Structure 1
Amino acid sequence: MASSQLNLDKETESCLDSCLTAAQACEWCADECAGSEDMARCLRLCRDVADLASLCARMCTRDSEFNSQLAEACADACEACAEECEQHDHDHCQACAEILPRCAESCRAMA
């Protein structure tokens, strides 16, 4: 079911969509970073974002009363992860660095 079919306001719908995209990008990045000692911080941050963004998307879908607080935490994690990923030349890191600021922005707008 597309988020537009859930009867959500525009900010919540944008947050949900960007969180799902961020979670996918971070899962890919974390998987690619696995096993590389110099990528440990990137791996941990990507896993944090993937978990937070997935949870945030689920909370948006059910219009939880905790959306705002979780969206703020997700935005903070996205910003930290984007900063880390920007430092690496890998395609997966650059994808995260491009996607995560948009997720942070949409989460803050919804919160």
Structure 2
Amino acid sequence: MALSELDVSDQMDECIDNCWEAAQACEWCADACLDEEMDMSRCIRLCRDVADLASMHARFMARNSNYSEQLAEDVAGAAEECAEECSRHDHEHCQVCADVLEDCVESCRAMMA
């Protein structure tokens, strides 16, 4: 059964997808940052926070949690800060992560409206 067959709006379905994609991109970026020669600790920490928050938010939306809207605000803020940090680095994994996070921020902010 697809999410679209459940009681989930198109907007929520998109946000769930964007949150899962953000979590995956952040996990990949954080792992790749470990191999960089420069200090990437801030990027790693932010990516790990966003990965956890975004995956939790996706699960909360899927079960129509009353806390989903509050969590959307936290995810949007953390993802925005992480995207800013990632965009400062020339590494491909950071640039990809920053791009993916922009969609996550946008869809989480739409869920808050």
TM-score (norm 1): 0.93
**2:60 maps to which residue?**
59
Q: Unaligned 5+ residue runs, structure 1?
A: none
TM-score (norm 2): 0.92
- Report the CA distance shift for 1:21/1:2 in structure 2 as closer, same or farther (over 3 A): farther
Q: 1:46 is aligned with what amino acid?
A: C
Distance, in Å, in 2 between the alignment partners of 1:21 and 1:73 is 17
Q: 3-state DSSP class of the match of 1:38?
A: coil
Question: Residue 13 of structure 1: CA displacement?
Answer: 1.0
Question: Residue 91 of structure 1: CA displacement?
Answer: 1.1
**1:20 maps to which residue?**
20
**1:9 maps to which residue?**
9
Q: 2:18 is aligned with what amino acid?
A: S
Distance, in Å, in 1 between the alignment partners of 2:42 and 2:100 is 18
- Report the CA distance shift for 1:27/1:2 in structure 2 as closer, same or farther (over 3 A): farther
Matches for 1:61-80 after TM superposition, within 5 Å = 61-80=62-81
Question: Residue 35 of structure 1: CA displacement?
Answer: 5.5
Q: 1:53 is aligned with what amino acid?
A: A
Q: 8 Å contact 1:19–1:56 — kept in the other structure?
A: yes
Q: 8 Å contact 1:27–1:46 — kept in the other structure?
A: yes
Give 4+ residue runs of structure 1 displaced > 6 Å after superposition. Answer: none
Cα deviation 1:47-103 (Å, max 9, x = unaligned): 000000000000010000001000110000010000000011111101111110110
C-alpha RMSD of the superposition: 1.3
Greater share of residues in helix:
1
Distance, in Å, in 2 between the alignment partners of 1:2 and 1:103 is 21
Distance, in Å, in 2 between the alignment partners of 1:40 and 1:101 is 21
Q: Unaligned 5+ residue runs, structure 2?
A: none
